[in-house]
Amino acid sequence: MQIVPVIPPEAAAHRDQQLRTAAQDLETTFLAEMLKSAGLGETRGAFGGGAGEDQFASFLLREQAAAMVRAGGIGLSETIFESLKERNDATPID
């Protein structure tokens, strides 16, 4: 016998926000890796920022990717969120 729990609206909204945040973090990580693979943030040569630029390039890529996600991203986070929510809602309590 499966029991379907009744979740208060506040708890459901909090859970959805946690799932959305996790999905956006995953899309941010994905986009940061894509930007890195595309060569964004690589040292430009003799007039680049030197060792300091190399040290902090990953932070810049991550923040650029996060800005892209906040602006709507590529839709990956919404797809992940819907999948996580569906999976979470379908999990019965035995």
Give the chain's mean pLDDT: 84
pLDDT mean over 32-41: 88
* Lowest pLDDT segment from 15-24, 63-72, 80-89: 80-89
pLDDT mean over 23-40: 93
pLDDT band at 5 (very low <50, low <70, confident <90, very high): low
Supply the pLDDT for residue 9.
80
DSSP letter at 61? H
SS3 of residue 3 by DSSP: strand
Report the candidate in 86, 87, 81 with the shortest Cα–Cα distance to residue 27.
81
Q: Is the pLDDT of residue 25 over 90?
A: yes
